[in-house]
Amino acid sequence: MNSFITLFQAAIAFGTVILFGCVGEILTERAGNLNLGVPGIMYLGGIASLASVFIYEGSTDSPSKILCVIIAMVSAFIASALGGLIYAFLTISLKANQNVCGLTLTIFGGGVANFFGGSLNTLAGRFEAVSVPVTSAAFRTNIPGISNAGTIGKLFFSYGFMVYLAIAIAIIVHIFLHHTRRGLNLRTVGESPQTADAAGINVDRNKYLAICIGAGISGFGGVYYVMDYIKGTWANDGSIEKLGWLAVALVIFTTWKSSHAVWGSYLFGLLYWMYYYIPGLTRRSQELFKMLPYVVTLLVLIVNSLRSGKDKQPPKSLGLAYFREER
Amino acid sequence: MAAITFEHISKRFGSVNANSDVSFSVNKGEILALLGENGSGKTTLMNMLSGIYYPDEGRILVDDKPVSIRGPRDAYALGIGMVHQHFKLVDVFTAAENLVVGLDPDKKLDRKAIAADIKEICDKYQFDVNPDKKVYDMSVSEKQTLEIVKVLYRGANILILDEPTAVLTPQETERLFRVLRNMKQDGKTVIIITHKLHEVLSISDRVAILRKGEYIETVDTADATEEKLTELMVGKKVDLEIERPEVKDKKLRLEIRNINCINSEGVKILKDISFDVYGGEILGIAGISGNGQKELLEAIAGLEQIEEGGSIKYHAPDAKEAVEMKGMTPRHIRELGVHLSFVPEDRLGMGLVGSMGMTENMMLKDYSKGRGVFTSKKAPRELAEKIKEELEVVTPGVTTPVRRLSGGNVQKVLVGREIAASPTVLMTAYAVRGLDINTSYTIYHLLNEQKKKGVAVIYVGEDLDVLLALCDRILVLCGGQANGILDGHTADKQEVGRRMSVIVEEKDGEGHE
C-alpha cells in the first residue's frame, strides 16, 4: 500500500510538469501552430523563475513567501511568453517553417537556461549549488491538517498549489476552447484560416495570442519542475528537455483535448515511474520501462488513424502558414 | 430602387484585367443572374462586393449611398452575404457552431438558442438543417444549405451565390431555386453567378452579362432566349490568324468508347463518352471548366479510375491490332507513346518540380534509365539544353530551379519535354493559360509541328476563338457528357458556346459512327 501511495505521488508530480507543457501546447496547436519549442519554453520558464527569486531572496533578509511565488510565476510567464513571441513572429509574420522554428526554440531555450543556470551556480559560491529555500518551501506548502490524514489525504492533498493550478488551467482551457465563442473562433483559425478570415476573425491576432499565452502556460511546467520537483535548485542534466518532449507526445495522446490531458499526464507519470516499483528490474530493463509513455502515444496514434474518426484528428491547418488567397 | 450600383469598377491582377470599367445596378428584391464565360470576371466582381478584394478604380453604392467594403465584416454590416463556390465551413464543427463562428465573441455559446434560431430561419424559407450534425457528415447540398442559412443568420438582405448549382443534382437544384424564390418573396435581393443558360432563364428576373472582364448588357429574362444570351456571352468571332495546316494522312489512333468516371466525392464526372482520335490532326476539347476535361485526359492517361464497361483502344502506327489501354498503368500507357502534358490551374502543380532545374525535370519521367542505382544525367542535360535552344527558353541555365522561370518558359519546358519523347498521342490542357500572345503562338506552332509529323494532338482550351482557329475537330463537353463533335473549319462560335451549356439531343456534324 505504501509503495502504491509513493508511486501515485511520484506520478502526480511528474504528470504536473508535463500537464502544464501539454495544455499550453494544446492552446497553441488549436490555433494551427505546431510549436516544437515546448522543451525550450519550459527551460525559459524554469530559469526565469529561479533567477528572479534568487536575486530577490539574496536582496532581503526576510523574503516574503507570497512575493516569492508571485515573482517566480510572473517572471516565468513573461520569459516563456517572450519565447513564444519569437516563434510567433517567425511563423506568423515571416511565415517561416514551424517545425524548424520550434526546434530552434528548443535548442535556444536549453542553451540560455543552462548558461544562466551554470552562472547562478557560480554566483551561489564555489562549493554550493544555487538554491532558493524560501521560495521552494512556499511552492511545496501543502494544506496543513488534511495532507497527512489517511490514504485519501496522502493521495490527493499532499501537494503544492501548482498541482491544483495545473488541473484548473487544463479545465479552464477546455471550457474556453469548447464552450465559448472566442474558443470557437480560435479553433476555426486552426482548422481553416480561410473560413475564419471570411467570417471576419483576425487570424494573426488569434494565433499570436494563443501562442504567447500557450507558451506562458507551458513555461509553468518549468517553474514546477525547478521549484517543487527538484526543490529550488538547478540541474544541467537535460531532464526538462526530456519532459518537454513528453508534453508534446501527450498532446497527441489527448487528441488535442485538454480535459484528457489531466488524466493522461498522470498516466504518463505512472508509466514512467513504474520501473521503480517493479521488483527485480536491472538497469537496462528499467530504461525499457521508461519508454512506455512513448509506446502508449504510438498506440493511440495507430488506433486513432485506424478509427478514422474526424474528431480525433489534429487541427486541419496545423503546421501550415496562412496566406490570404490572391490570384 | 437599386440595392447595389457598380460605378466604373476596375480590378487588375498583375497585368491581367479581371474587371475593366464595369457599371450596372441590381434592383432591390430581384433575382439577378450574372452570366459570363470562364474568366469573364464574374467572381472577381462579386468578391469586391463581399469584401475579399478591393476595387482598383470606381465605387460601389449600396442603397444609393457610396460605401467602402474593406473586409467581409464590412460586407455583413451592409447586409451583403456571399456563398462561395468553395464552402467556408469547418468540417469538425456542427452546423450550429459553424453558424456563429466570428460573431459576437463575448456572447455565451448557447447551442440550444442557436438551434432555435436555425429552426426559425428554416421554417421561414423551408430549409432542412440539423443543428447538431457535423459538417463532415453532410452532403454537398446540405453544406450549401448551411452556407445559405449562415448568410441569412448574419442578417443579409443581399445574397450572392457563386455557381451554386455546379455541385447539385437536378432535384437539389430545383429545391434551391424554390428557396431562392421564397427569399425573393421575403424582399431579399439575390445575385446568382452562373453560366448555365437554362437556369438563368428559369430563375432570374434580369441577366447581366460580362465578357472578358467587361460589362456587356443587362437584359430582362422575359425577353431573353438561349441564342441571344449565348451571343452576348461569347461575342462575335475574332480572327486570330493562327495557322492550321491541312490534315494529311489521317490515321486512327484512339478509339474511346463509353467511358464513365466517378470522382472522389462520388459524383459522376464523365458520362458515357465516346469519340475517336486521329493522328495528323488536332482535336480540340471545349467546355466550361469543371465539366470533365481534366478527368477525361486523366482517364486516357491511366490516372483516373474508369468504371466498369467502356474501352480505350490504341492503334499503334505499325501494329496490326489495336491494344486495350483501359486498366494499364500510367507508365505503360506512356511507353506506348500516349503522353499527357497536363497544365492544371497551378502550372507547377503537376508535371514539374519547382525547386528542380530543367535537367532534373527532364529526368522525372524516365529516371529509371540510369545504370543500376545511379541516375544518368548526361542525356537529360543534353535534352534540356536542346529544349532551351530550340524553344528559346529564357533561363540563366538548365540547373536554375524552374520555379524562377516565367509562366511562358515553364510551359515551354513542360511541352518541350513531352514532345521530345516523340509521342504518338499528345494531350495538352490549358497550354496557353496565363501566357502572353507571342508565347501562345509559339505553343500553337509547336502543336502544329507535331500535327504535321502525324501525332494525334488533343488540345483542351478555354478560348473559343483559339479552338476554332487551331483545331480540326472540336469535341464539346457539357456536364461530363460529349455534346457533339464539330468541324473546326465550319463550326460557329455561338453553336460551340451553346453546346457548352445545353445538352443538344440530336447528334449532328461528323462525330463517331
ipTM for the predicted complex comes to 0.86
Q: Does B350 or B357 have the greater pLDDT score? A: B357
Question: What is the rounded average pLDDT of the residues B465-489?
Answer: 90
Task: For chain A, give the number of residues.
Answer: 327
d(CA B254, CA A119): 78
pLDDT tens digits for range B23-75: 999 999 999 999 987 778 888 899 999 888 899 999 999 999 999 998 888 89
Of the residues A188, A307, A311, the best mutation for testing chain B's interface (the one with the most B CB atoms within 10 Å of its CB) is A188
Considering chain B, what is the average pLDDT of its residues? 85
The DSSP secondary structure of A41-95, one letter per residue, reads HHHHHHHHHHHHHHHHHHH-SS--HHHHHHHHHHHHHHHHHHHHHHHHIIIIIS-
Report the SS3 class of residue B127.
coil
**Cβ contacts of B84 on chain A, cutoff 8 Å:** 198
pLDDT score, position B499: 87
Residue of A nearest to B13 (CA): A327
Q: Which residue in the set A180, A192, A326 is minimally distant from B90, CB to CB?
A: A192
Residue B510 reports pLDDT greater than 70: no
Q: Does B337 or B219 have the greater pLDDT score? A: B219
How far apart, in Å, are the Cα atoms of B423 and each of A82, B158, B453? 59, 53, 10
Is the minimum CB–CB distance between B100 and chain A shorter than 8 Å?
yes
How far apart, in Å, are the Cα atoms of A58 and each of A53, A63, A132, B394? 8, 9, 9, 70
Q: Within 10 Å of residue A185's Cβ, how many Cβ atoms? A: 21
d(CA B124, CA B145): 14
Q: What backbone phi and psi angles, to 5 degrees, belong to A60?
A: -135, 155
Cα angle A13, A15, A16 (rounded to 5 degrees) comes to 65
- pLDDT category at B370 given cuts 50, 70, 90 is low
Enumerate residues 53 to 82 of chain B having a beta carbon within 8 A of any beta carbon in chain A. Answer: 71-73, 76
User: How far A31 CA lies from chain B's nearest CA (Å)?
Assistant: 13
Type of residue numbered A235: A
Q: Which residue has the cell 449562415?
A: B150
Is the minimum CB–CB distance between B97 and chain A shorter than 8 Å?
yes
| C-beta of residue A131 within 8 angstroms of C-beta of residue A227 | no
Question: For chain B, what percent of residues have pLDDT higher than 70?
Answer: 93
**Cβ contacts of A323 on chain B, cutoff 8 Å:** none
Find how far residue A69's CA is from the centre of its chain: 18
pLDDT score, position B343: 56
The boundaries of the domain holding residue A152 are 2-326
Is the minimum CB–CB distance between B332 and chain A shorter than 8 Å?
no
pLDDT score, position B341: 67
Residue B294 reports pLDDT greater than 90: no
Q: Which residue in the set B73, B88, B109 is minimally distant from A184, CB to CB?
A: B109
pLDDT score, position A86: 96
Is the minimum CB–CB distance between B15 and chain A shorter than 8 Å?
no
The answer to whether A187 contacts B103, with C-beta atoms less than 8 Å apart, is no
The answer to whether B101 contacts A194, with C-beta atoms less than 8 Å apart, is no
Cα angle B453, B455, B456 (rounded to 5 degrees) comes to 145
What's the number of domains chain A is made of?
1
**Cβ contacts of A185 on chain B, cutoff 8 Å:** 101-102, 105
Please list the ranges in chain A whose pLDDT falls under 70: 126-127, 308, 325-327
Long-range Cβ pairs for the range A287-290 (8 Å, 24+): none
Full-model pTM = 0.79
CATH number at residue A74: 1.10.3470
- pLDDT category at B350 given cuts 50, 70, 90 is low
**Cβ contacts of B100 on chain A, cutoff 8 Å:** 181, 184
- CB proximity list for B462: less than 8 A, separation 6 or greater: B37, B38, B39, B289, B430, B433
d(CA A152, CA A169): 23
Of the residues B43, B92, B106, the best mutation for testing chain A's interface (the one with the most A CB atoms within 10 Å of its CB) is B92
The DSSP secondary structure of B37-70, one letter per residue, reads -TTSSHHHHHHHHTTSS--SEEEEEETTEEE---
pLDDT tens digits for range B211-258: 888 999 999 999 998 888 888 888 877 667 788 888 888 889 899 999
d(CA B63, CA B133): 37
| C-beta of residue A36 within 8 angstroms of C-beta of residue A103 | yes
Q: What backbone phi and psi angles, to 5 degrees, belong to B194?
A: -160, 165
Alpha helices in B204-286 (DSSP H): 226-234
Q: Does B175 or A108 have the greater pLDDT score? A: A108
Report the SS3 class of residue B501.
helix
pLDDT score, position A127: 66
Enumerate residues 135 to 194 of chain B having a beta carbon within 8 A of any beta carbon in chain A. Answer: 136
Residue B290 reports pLDDT greater than 80: no
pLDDT score, position B131: 93
Is the minimum CB–CB distance between A191 and chain B shorter than 8 Å?
yes
A221-235, B338-352, B418-432: segment of lowest average pLDDT: B338-352
d(CA B300, CA B291): 16
pLDDT tens digits for range B89-146: 999 999 999 999 988 888 888 899 999 999 998 888 888 899 999 999 888 889 999 9
Q: Which residue in the set B18, B102, B134 is minimally distant from A199, CB to CB?
A: B102
